[in-house]
Every structure is written in C-alpha cells, then in structure tokens.
Amino acid sequence: MGVLAGIARHGRPKGPMETLAQVDVTLEGGLHGDFRGVIKPGGRGRRQVTLLERGDWEAAMAEVGHSLPWFERRANLLVEGLDLPQIAGTRLLIGETVTLMITRETDPCERMEALAPGLKAALLPYWRGGACARVQVGGTIRVGDTIMVLEE
C-alpha cells in the first residue's frame, strides 16, 4: 500500500501546472480541470490520468544532477511507497472509491530534455516516466489518501 503524495493538473496544453490538496475525479473528465482527462469522441481515454512514483523521479533527478519539483514531469498524481505495476489492465484504488486502470507507460517527451539535459533518457528505463491510466470509478481524492493495487 502507498500514499498519494501529490496532485497536479494543467488546464491547457503546455499550460502551467497547478498543485492541489484534493480534486474530484470523473469517468468523463478525469481530474477536474485537467485538459487531458476529457475523453474525445471515439477516444479510449488511455491517458486520462498520469501517475509518477516519487522514488523514480528522485532517481532520475539524481542521475541528471538536478532537483526539480515532481510536477515538472507534468504528471497528475505523485505516488509514494508503492511500486506502480508495469502491466496494462492493473487496477488501483485511491482513497475509498476512486479506481484507475493502468493503460500504458507514460513516455517521456522532448520537453523533459528542455528541463534538464539527459532527463528524457533518465526517465526511459523501467517505466520511470510513470504510468497512464483511465478512470473506472470516480470520486474525490486527497493528498494523503492510500493507494493500493486491486487483486483481480
């Protein structure tokens, strides 16, 4: 079991990240106010919510010799104390109700290289760049909520 250590969203592409103490999560919109969460007509919503492990971010930062805040990765949720499963279809429970299904790895983009030379490469191994997920059950999540892998 892990803990939700951070929540962030951005209202438009390349827009500034906003950190939050809590947020509503819906099947149709992902994190309230985050532009990526809305499923486009005919879309599959494979990237509604992105998750990042604190340990992976810290390891990448150490590798490139920087100390940037986690939300510079542009992920929505910072996970602490839980090794995110690297298997599409795995379900996570956050707090009492919110359920996410991991859909794929979050590939690091060129934007990471602009933050720190070598960061894109540092995020490539072992899903270090995070995981993408789709909302299966909505609700409200808060920093400090537990996160656990649901057994099938």
State pLDDT tens for residues 8-35: 999 998 889 999 999 999 999 999 999 8
Tell me, what's the pLDDT at 110? 82
Tell me, what's the pLDDT at 151? 80
Nearest to 131 by CA among 85, 98, 74: 85
Tell me, what's the pLDDT at 41? 66
Tell which CATH classification among 1.10.1760.20, 3.20.20.70, 3.90.420.10, 2.40.33.20 matches the domain 2-150.
2.40.33.20
Tell me, what's the pLDDT at 109? 82
Please give the backbone phi and psi of residue 34, each rounded to the nearest 5 degrees, phi first.
-100, 125
Nearest to 69 by CA among 87, 50, 54: 54
pTM metric for this prediction: 0.94
Q: Which residues of the chain have pLDDT under 70?
A: 41-44, 152
What does the chain come to in residues?
A: 152
Distances in Å between the Cα of 131 and the Cα atoms of 8, 66, 75, 151 are: 15, 22, 9, 18
Q: Are 123 and 112 in contact (CB under 8 A)?
A: yes
Q: Are 6 and 78 in contact (CB under 8 A)?
A: yes
> What's the CA gap between 13 and 65, in Å, rounded?
27
Q: Are 102 and 84 in contact (CB under 8 A)?
A: yes
Tell me, what's the pLDDT at 46? 75
Tokens of 21: 């103490």
